[in-house]
């Protein structure tokens, strides 16, 4: 007998959900008043374009998406993450989380360990950073060790990283000075529409699952408007579960700095919601959510973060396709699936993340490909359908080129209702995809508004 293997709602990663949000404005103000300096958060730029904004990391940390991480990492923890993908506490974590500033800014601020630094966003107090350590990094070294190299990670790294890789660029253009310490949000931001209704921080998502009677929940990672192939992946992956298919299917969209030619984030979240509103996977079984994070496209490394985010949200399963969170030829197309099936020793995983000490509870669902087959007259799975010469692969760039030409995509490619969401935002932004104007304005506006909070000391 295999034993009574009933899968239960997973514990938060590290044991408890981080909640570092002050909800009482008076208390928040008091904390701001106690700060010794103020710093205005600015995006990381690359060729004049915003590629990262640390505010998103602060949000994801303080609302518990990245539990058990509580702030910007100390130098000893950074080393351990880069060497073993482990926090100081031993819990698995994939990426450096750093509050990096320039030498000039550090000089201007004049802060030292023990100081509390006020972080301002869009001109308003947003969070504080309780400085524990100040140290400097070699961004190129951090970058290389974050993503790996062909020599050191031969199991999965195929081509050396370069500046065509957005994640590589993000880390390479980090500032050299790091302020390490815990973040606390002292002035709770308001998510703007349409993002507000997709905002389910872990404590809230867990409540929502409970309300819906969901125990087994599979997560679908997205940074796209769903075509019929994505929808099939999502629906079919969810037939995994315990003694029956998963109770719930969660889509979690990564919302953050995007590239020219991507779909606007607004269209991404609303089009996924439309999958349930239009009844393809009804709202009782489907939940569209989001997480703030500037995608690093780290494939296996990113998949670990995805596992952590979604385990914290309460998911029991995570689907991983080929080229998960990948871009370009750098990683092997099965890198994330390899990690979740047998581990990647060179990244610190002699076994999969759910089989190592202080690893994840989350179970993977490694999926092959879906394509449209005219013989089967439906979307079919590459491991089942054998109609070679007949089936046709879904191509995101083909679909984008149809849309850019104003061609209504056939329903075997994109659902009518999903397409209407693309059109809705197309009308709003003047183009179906992100252009420079959209990206620049989005970065100014961000996804949140901050309530006014007076801190006379830093007027």
Token output for 2: 């295999």
What's the min distance (Å) between Cβ of 86 and a copy of itself?
Answer: 14
What's the min distance (Å) between Cβ of 381 and a copy of itself?
Answer: 7
**Is the Cβ of residue 42 or residue 285 nearer to a copy of itself in the bound state?**
285
User: Cα–Cα distances in Å, from 180 out to 153, 256, 338?
Assistant: 28, 23, 33
What's the min distance (Å) between Cβ of 234 and a copy of itself?
Answer: 10
What's the min distance (Å) between Cβ of 131 and a copy of itself?
Answer: 34
Which residues of the shown chain bind a copy of itself in the complex (CB under 8 A)?
1-5, 7, 235-241, 243-245, 279-286, 337, 340-341, 351-352, 354-361, 363-368, 375-381, 383-387, 411-412
Residues 6 or more apart whose Cβ sits within 8 Å of residue 104: none
What's the min distance (Å) between Cβ of 33 and a copy of itself?
Answer: 44
How far is the C-alpha of 409 from the C-alpha of 427, rounded, in Å? 17
Q: Which residues pair with 5 in a beta bridge?
A: none
**Is the Cβ of residue 28 or residue 352 nearer to a copy of itself in the bound state?**
352
Phi/psi of residue 251, each to 5°? -100, 130
**Is the Cβ of residue 135 or residue 381 nearer to a copy of itself in the bound state?**
381
Say if residue 68 is preceded by a cis peptide, omega within 30 of 0.
Answer: yes
What's the min distance (Å) between Cβ of 100 and a copy of itself?
Answer: 32
Burial of 277 (0-12, 13-18, 19+ CB in 10 A): middle
What's the min distance (Å) between Cβ of 251 and a copy of itself?
Answer: 13
**Is the Cβ of residue 235 or residue 272 nearer to a copy of itself in the bound state?**
235
**Is the Cβ of residue 169 or residue 316 nearer to a copy of itself in the bound state?**
316
What's the min distance (Å) between Cβ of 220 and a copy of itself?
Answer: 13
Token output for 459: 């007027």
**Is the Cβ of residue 19 or residue 242 nearer to a copy of itself in the bound state?**
242
Cα 214 → chain centroid: 23
**Is the Cβ of residue 145 or residue 310 nearer to a copy of itself in the bound state?**
310
**Is the Cβ of residue 381 or residue 398 nearer to a copy of itself in the bound state?**
381
**Is the Cβ of residue 17 or residue 131 nearer to a copy of itself in the bound state?**
17
What's the min distance (Å) between Cβ of 107 and a copy of itself?
Answer: 45
What's the min distance (Å) between Cβ of 343 and a copy of itself?
Answer: 10
What's the min distance (Å) between Cβ of 173 and a copy of itself?
Answer: 36
**Is the Cβ of residue 244 or residue 459 nearer to a copy of itself in the bound state?**
244
**Is the Cβ of residue 63 or residue 419 nearer to a copy of itself in the bound state?**
419
């Amino acid at each position: 007998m295999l034993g009574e293997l009933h899968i239960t709602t997973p514990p938060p990663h590290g044991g408890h959900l981080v909640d570092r949000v002050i909800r009482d404005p008076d208390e928040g103000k008091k904390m701001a008043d106690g700060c010794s300096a103020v710093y205005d958060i600015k995006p990381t730029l690359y060729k004049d374009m915003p590629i990262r904004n640390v505010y998103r990391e602060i949000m994801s940390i303080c609302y518990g998406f990245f539990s058990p991480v509580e702030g910007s990492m100390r130098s000893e923890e950074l080393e351990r993450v880069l060497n073993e993908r482990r926090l100081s506490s031993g819990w698995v974590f994939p990426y450096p989380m750093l509050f990096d500033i320039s030498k000039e800014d550090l000089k201007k601020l004049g802060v030292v360990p023990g100081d509390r630094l006020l972080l301002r966003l869009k001109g308003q107090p947003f969070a504080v950073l309780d400085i524990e350590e100040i140290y400097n990094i070699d961004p190129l070294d951090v970058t290389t060790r974050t993503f790996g190299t062909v020599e050191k990670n031969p199991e999965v790294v195929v081509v050396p990283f370069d500046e065509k890789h957005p994640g590589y660029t993000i880390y390479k253009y980090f500032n050299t000075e790091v302020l390490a310490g815990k973040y606390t949000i002292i002035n709770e931001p308001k998510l703007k529409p349409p993002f507000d209704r997709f905002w389910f921080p872990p404590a809230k998502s867990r409540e929502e699952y409970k309300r819906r009677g969901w125990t087994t929940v599979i997560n679908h990672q997205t940074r796209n408007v769903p075509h019929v192939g994505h929808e099939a992946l999502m629906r079919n992956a969810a037939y995994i579960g315990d003694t029956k298919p998963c109770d719930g299917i969660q889509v979690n969209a990564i919302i953050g700095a995007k590239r020219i030619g991507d779909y606007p984030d607004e269209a991404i979240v609303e089009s996924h919601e439309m999958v349930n509103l239009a009844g393809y996977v009804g709202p009782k079984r489907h939940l569209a959510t989001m997480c703030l994070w500037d995608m690093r496209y780290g494939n296996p490394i990113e998949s670990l973060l995805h596992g952590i985010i979604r385990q914290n949200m309460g998911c029991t399963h995570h689907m991983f396709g080929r080229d998960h969170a990948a871009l370009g030829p750098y990683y092997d197309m099965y890198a994330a699936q390899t990690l979740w099936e047998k581990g990647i020793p060179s990244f610190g995983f002699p076994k999969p993340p759910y089989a190592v000490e202080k690893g994840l509870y989350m179970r993977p669902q490694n999926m092959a490909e879906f394509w449209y087959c005219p013989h089967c007259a439906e979307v079919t799975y590459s491991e089942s359908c054998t109609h070679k010469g007949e089936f046709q692969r879904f191509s995101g760039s083909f679909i984008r080129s149809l849309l850019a030409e104003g061609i209504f995509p056939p329903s075997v490619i994109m659902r009518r209702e999903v397409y209407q969401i693309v059109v809705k935002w197309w009308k709003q932004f003047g183009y179906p995809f992100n252009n420079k104007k959209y990206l620049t304005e989005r970065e100014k506006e961000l996804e949140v508004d901050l309530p006014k909070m007076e801190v006379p000391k830093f007027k």
